[in-house]
Structure 1
Amino acid sequence: MKRGIITVILIIVVIGAIALVLKNNKKKNDAQTALVAQGSGAISVRVAPVKKVAVDLDFSANGNFIPKKELNFLSENAGRITKIYVEEGDRVHKGQILAHIDAEIINTDKETAQAALDNAIRDEARYVSSFKTGGVTQQQLDQAKLATRNAKLRLQGSARRVSDANIKSPIDGIVNKKYIETGAFVTAQGTQLFELVDVSKLKLKVNVNEGQVANLKVGETVQIKSNVFPSDNFSGKITFIAAKADETLNFPIEIEVDNNHKNTIKAGMYGTAIFKFPAQVATITIPRGSFVGSVSSNEVFVLGEGNTAKQRKVVAGRIIGDQVEILDGLKEGETVIISGQINLVDGSPVAIIK
């Protein structure tokens, strides 16, 4: 019992000693802070020299290859599939017959439409003859001519449906998927028949940031590397640059690539676009964090005489990584403040952190 009381007393004594030390340390810190406040009042900042550097605009971006053309081919006629001429993986040409639909009902419709047209033509001829002798009115003649035109249109539609009974490929490409089998019934509402892809040319889709997109133009040639075939050299041309950034604040870019290496690249593979630019003239750049607020403010602080901060208006140019080009407002040899600006006003004394 006594031993427990002694232990508690010792713990209280130790806690009291620690509290006393912390209190004394706080007093010393407060005293030092007060001393600094009563002294120069300089604000701690970091600085960087203003100098010209050669800007390297080269960069690379990763993306996925997609087919230049990709088509989910749908039926336009209703009927039963009687013949399929291709299988998955087959290469097809534009206009090639892929499958055939039973045309019995379609042919019947065409024959009916042809008979209706023949009858309309005969009626129109009789009305023309009767109109000359005053047997019918102009209105009756016009209605007969209109009936003939409508019959011709119905026949054209029927003939088109007969032609469409032979399902033809609308593009050159490869049958990637076949959704039907012989004997299947398709509808005119658009039953999915085939998925066709053209990989003779591919598109590499990549995203670039605002600083990079400003240096790109449609039609420029870009070096392409395939992750799967690193020894092959590909090239492409920029065919699309988004006018608006996506939700990640990046700009989608599309580069068309000739797949002329025996079609080694497959849609869905990864690729890298390497953007190269001519050597740039040395220009003044400063860290992006040098600006007061943001780059759009066009305001920085430079180190003035007597270690004071001087506010300066500048003209910002390109944003290159974490650096910003300065077109006007700074000269080589000056010193720009790159951190601590939030506490500064024009003329504030500063202390440089080494």
Structure 2
Amino acid sequence: MKKKTIIRTIITVAVIAIAFVAVARVLVNNKKKNAEKTAIVAQSDGAVAVRISVVQQDTLQQDFSANGNFIPVQQLNFSSENAGRITRVLVDEGSRVSKGQLLAVIKADQLNVDVESAQAAYQNAMADKQRYENAFRTGGVTQQQVDQARLALSNAEARLSQARLKVSDTYIKSSINGIVNKRFIEPGAVVSPGTQLFELVDISRLKLQVNVSEAVVAQVKEGDQAKIRVSVFPDKEYTGRISFIAPKADNTLNFPLEIELTSNPEQLVRAGMYGTAIFTAPARNSAILIPRSAFVGSVNSNQVFIVKDSVASLRQIVAGRVLGDRVEVLQGLNPGDKVITSGQINLSEGTRISIVK
């Protein structure tokens, strides 16, 4: 029993000794750090240590980019204009079609009967007009009766043209050159006016749809060139032409913009793919730039400290664009001025400073 008690005592003493050594090391390190700080203060003779940056004048050229999706320049949702039963469908999904090509046929028996009836009415109206005109020459009818006969003939002709037009609409023909992306009908299906029949797209010409900020809109115009990168073809670079800029921003305060692809060799780029448009802003002759960290508080304060005769002097400036970690200065600074970039929290007008290199 005594032996166990002695062992516990030895272990406790060892733990206390180890803890004491650790505390002693921390105290020694803290003492060294305090001594270093004291030495710095002594060297600076009570001045506030700061870092500075020399104001530079540089030429600016900034690229803007925006992401979006490719869409066809022409896309058509083809719908039926008549009611009836589909008798023939002549194309499948993926089929290439040309303008005027027959795609499908709707049964037109009733419409043909309407054409025959309108044709008969037209012939009868024409005969009546001729009889009234002959009778008018001999005084058998009045001018008013002749005019009514002519009006009846005109109405009959219009009804005949309308009936023929409805028959022609039963032959569904493509109005663009493109590809059948989707087919919504099968032979035997009954359709009504407005029923969607096909979705046709023309991928020979594509455009990239993006949304850009007001800063980009202010730098570009319709007809400008833009570089285009396609995410699935990172080793290829395409070019495009800005074909549309929205006159009004959307709910997110961005402006819809479209860039038409100039060329699409082998039609590798397809509608729906993801792309990035890169706009090159015109280079500005010169601009004064300072680090963003030079501002007192934030860029919106438009205040910086400059070094003047080894003291801090508060300067009111006018900030321009924020370019990453640098800010354009429109007014208040000159090239060669030294702005303070750290330690501003300890400064006021006239505070003595020492520059840390």
**TM-score (normalizing by structure 1):** 0.73
Residue 55 (structure 1) aligned with residue 60 (structure 2): yes
Alignment of 1:15-30 (within 5 A): none
Partner of 1:231: 235
**1:99 CA displacement:** 0.5
Secondary structure at the residue paired with 1:126? helix
**1:185 CA displacement:** 1.1
Secondary structure at the residue paired with 2:111? helix
**TM-score (normalizing by structure 2):** 0.72
Partner of 2:74: 69
**1:98 CA displacement:** 0.2
Paired residues of 1:75 and 1:186 also in contact (CA < 8 A):
yes
| Count of equivalent residues | 306
Amino acid at match of 2:69: N
Aligned equivalents of 2:59, 2:314: Cα separation in 1: 28
Per-residue deviation, residues 60-87 of structure 1 (Å, max 9, x unmatched): 3221111111111100111111111000
**1:317 CA displacement:** 6.2
Secondary structure at the residue paired with 1:212? helix
Amino acid at match of 1:283: A
Partner of 1:331: 334
Partner of 2:278: 274
Alignment of 1:153-168 (within 5 A): 153-168=158-173
CA 1:82–1:258 in 2, change beyond 3 Å: closer, same or farther? Answer: farther
Partner of 1:242: 246
Per-residue deviation, residues 143-198 of structure 1 (Å, max 9, x unmatched): 2211111111111111111211210011111111110000111112x111001111
Residue 181 (structure 1) aligned with residue 186 (structure 2): yes
Secondary structure at the residue paired with 1:157? helix
Alignment of 1:245-324 (within 5 A): 245-258=249-262, 260-277=264-281, 279-285=283-289, 303=306, 307-311=312-316, 314=318
Paired residues of 2:84 and 2:107 also in contact (CA < 8 A):
yes
Secondary structure at the residue paired with 1:331? coil
Paired residues of 1:223 and 1:274 also in contact (CA < 8 A):
yes
Match of 2:83 among 56, 72, 78: 78
Residue 208 (structure 1) aligned with residue 212 (structure 2): yes
What is the alpha-carbon root mean square deviation over aligned residues? 3.7
Secondary structure at the residue paired with 2:67? strand
Paired residues of 1:300 and 1:337 also in contact (CA < 8 A):
no
Secondary structure at the residue paired with 1:111? helix
- Which of these two proteins has the greater Rg computed from alpha carbons? 2
Secondary structure at the residue paired with 1:66? strand
Per-residue deviation, residues 244-288 of structure 1 (Å, max 9, x unmatched): 222222222211114532221221111122223565422224578
Amino acid at match of 2:252: T
Partner of 1:222: 226
